[in-house]
Amino acid sequence: MKLEPGDFQKLQLSLFAMLLMVALGVASVLYAQEKTRLAQGVFAATQSERNEFDGKLKRVRNEENDIRQRAALFNTLQDHGVVGEEQRLEWVELLKAIHDKHRLIDLSYEFTPRHALEKASTGQFGLYASTMKLQLRLLHEEDLIRLLDDLQREARALIQIRRCDVSRLSRSGTETPLRGLLQAECTIDWVTLSNDEQGKGGKK
């Protein structure tokens, strides 16, 4: 088949049109890829912001729950007389009432000066304790258990029993119920929650 001069012009036009379509196709693909890349970047940024927001929201909720729990604990301690200055007169009266209630043979005690268990920042609450050295004679160990149970249940303070030693009294041959059979020595902390100024005042 013999090509005429006019046929070359037609081929050139067809070739140009084909190249133009290929170029447009490539441009369309590149444009679509760029749009996809931008969309992925926007999605990643949005997801990151959402995750950050969710994290902040979770922290706020945790802090809110923590505040509620602390407030509930504070109210409970306040209802039990643990918050504020120590009430030694009430403590002494409670010890006497327990002594009379259980008809204990002999009970003696001594409180040490109040001291800080946990250092409090200025204006904040801290834990303070007055340590009591307790001595009593017993007919049996249940007397001691009843006394400690009553203290922990009724005292307007948190009762922490640091140690209790029970020993049998030496027999003299003239034992009587009023003398007792056992000797108990206990170290007990009466713990209260006070602000810094109250704590300092309690130690003076």
Q: Please, what is the average pLDDT of the chain?
A: 80
Q: Given a cut of 50, is residue 122 above it in pLDDT?
A: no
DSSP per-residue letters across the chain: -PPPHHHHHHHHHHHHHHHHHHHHHHHHHHHHHHHHHHHHHHHHHHHHHHHHHHHHHHHHHHHHHHHHHHHHHHHHHHHTT-BSS--HHHHHHHHHHHHHHTT-SEEEEEEPPPEESSPPPTTSEEEEEEEEEEEEEESSHHHHHHHHHHHHHH-SSEEEEEEEEEEEPPP-S---TTT-SEEEEEEEEEEEEEEHHHHHHHH-
Q: Please state, in angstroms and rounded to a whole number, the distance separating the CA atoms of residues 45 and 42.
A: 5
What is the mean predicted confidence (pLDDT) over 12-33?
79
**pLDDT tens-digit readout, 47-95:** 888 888 788 888 888 888 877 877 776 777 777 778 878 889 999 999 9
Q: Please state, in angstroms and rounded to a whole number, the distance separating the CA atoms of residues 138 and 107.
A: 9
Q: Please state, in angstroms and rounded to a whole number, the distance separating the CA atoms of residues 32 and 38.
A: 10
* pLDDT recorded at residue 100: 92
Would you place residue 174 in the very low, low, confident or very high pLDDT band (cuts 50, 70, 90)?
low
Q: Please state, in angstroms and rounded to a whole number, the distance separating the CA atoms of residues 69 and 61.
A: 12
* pLDDT recorded at residue 5: 57
Q: Please state, in angstroms and rounded to a whole number, the distance separating the CA atoms of residues 180 and 177.
A: 5
Which residue type does 26 have? V
Percent of the chain with pLDDT over 70: 81
CB 118 within 8 A of CB 127: yes
**pLDDT tens-digit readout, 88-103:** 999 999 999 999 998 8
**pLDDT tens-digit readout, 124-149:** 778 889 999 999 988 888 999 999 99
* pLDDT recorded at residue 203: 46
Q: Please state, in angstroms and rounded to a whole number, the distance separating the CA atoms of residues 127 and 189.
A: 11
Single pTM value for the model: 0.60
Q: Bridge-partner residues for 157, per DSSP? A: none
Q: Hey, what CATH topology would domain 88-203 get?
A: Alpha-Beta Plaits (3.30.70)
